[in-house]
A = this chain, B = another copy of it.
Amino acid sequence: MVRADTNRRIDGARLWASLMEMARIGATPKGGVNRLTLTDLDRESRHLFRRWVEAAGCTVSVDRMGTMFARREGTDPSLPPVMIGSHLDTQPTGGKFDGALGVMAALEVVRTIADLGIRTRHPIEVVNWTNEEGSRFAPACVASGVFAGVFKLEDALATTDPQGLTIGGELERIGFAGPLPVGGRPVHAFFELHIEQGPILEEEGTDIGIVTIANGQKWYEVTLTGVESHAGPTPMSRRKDALLGAARIVERVNAIGHAHEPRACATCGMIQVYPNSRNVIPGSVFLTIDLRHPDGDKLISMSKAIEAAIPEIAAATGLTCDYKLVADFPPQPFEPSCVDAVRKAAARLGLSAREISSGAGHDAVYMARVAPTAMVFVPCVDGISHNEAEDMKPEWATAGTNVLLEAVLEKAEVVGG
């Protein structure tokens, strides 16, 4: 194994300082960040990002979805770029690291390469994808989704938020309706560094997650209908209690998740009960189900189990049911040579590493459809994310960014010594 050049390290303090300065834009009292896509705060973060990448010697282009590409030329401009990046938009009660870590790490990689005078054959582009979160405008990862041909540009630009504003209109408003066509150009590799958003790496004390695959996902909406009646005078044997049926589905979803452990996730996150009154037997319940697995066959097995369970439980509880599949993503493997670049980088740096799947969606998951892609995970405190309490240690960010540097340089091909 070739040990990494011990002079070839990112500047951890500079990385952390940039992360903390970026986190001031939209900072919340609880220590998180509220910087929704295409708001004035988002614009402010884009301007700061632009100043930093231009100071590092990059040229910025903006595409028609507002995604920013900060390009450092290689020795051969005709070669497709190695892209590194993530997203700067956040959840309404988001943290400082979800997305911002990947963008600031990519910036730090380019700053380090510039500082060390490293030249690469391929250009390198630092990417800030628009609207990864899908919180203000659904769905998530829409800009990388258009880039990867999953969504049509016109549809994406016409998406509205709860106030009826469109992505296209808001891009114009903040001055980021760029001229560059979205996608349609080759990408040599794409790397995204991200906090794990789960508890495994921290609990194990592992430095680096080598992300081999992103979980497939199936989302259901279920409506159960019984009979709304008075809690006092209605005998137990004559009830058609929609909440009882929903409770049985929640239990079954959990059991299906456990049956496909350790890599399955099965969750009921949202429930609405009607009329939701203390002394009225619930007549109707709306429930969501979120199933995930990195193995496509097991995901299908989980969904078949759910689809059989819903009518069975409804019938046994005297209810009628209705359900529909509202999201359906296959597992997305990452490209083996890119994954291997991450693996080798961690090894050369003497960092502990383990293979892991990505439970959540990321821009890298769509990009993997059109370019060799890999992700690098680092631990986060208590596995907490989508939460203002989201936190990580500076040394974790430093370790992940050094891995990113090595993997990027392998793919971009260093020229000279």
Contact = CB atoms under 8 A, between A and B. Distances in A.
Interface string A374-391: 000000001111110000
Interface in A334-389: 358-361, 382-387
A276 interface: yes
A153 interface: no
A384 B283 CA distance: 12
A196 B233 contact: yes
Contacts of A241: 254, 267
A265 B233 CA distance: 8
Contacts of A270: 273, 276-278
A257 B231 CA distance: 11
A231 B290 contact: yes
A299 to B, nearest CB: 13
B197 A233 contact: yes
B269 A383 contact: no
A234 B198 CA distance: 5
A230 to B, nearest CB: 5
Interface stretch (A14-22, A111-119, A243-251, A408-416): A243-251
A229 B250 CA distance: 17
A359 B247 contact: no
A257 B265 CA distance: 33
Q: State the oligomeric state as a number of copies.
A: 2
Interface size bracket, A side: 35 or more
A215 B251 CA distance: 32
A282 interface: yes
Interface string A193-233: 00011111001000000000001010100000001111111
A385 B230 contact: yes
A288 B280 contact: no
B282 A228 contact: no
A5 to B, nearest CB: 33
A268 B250 contact: no
A18 to B, nearest CB: 25
A13 interface: no
A230 B262 contact: no
Given A217-B232, A227-B382, A236-B254, 9 more contacts: A203-B238, A230-B383, A232-B290, A235-B262, A236-B258, A247-B248, A270-B277, A271-B271, A279-B290
List 8 tightest A-B contacts by C-beta distance, closest first.
Answer: A198-B233, A232-B359, A233-B359, A247-B247, A231-B267, A247-B250, A232-B360, A278-B288
6 contacts: A196-B233, A199-B238, A234-B265, A236-B264, A246-B247, A269-B281
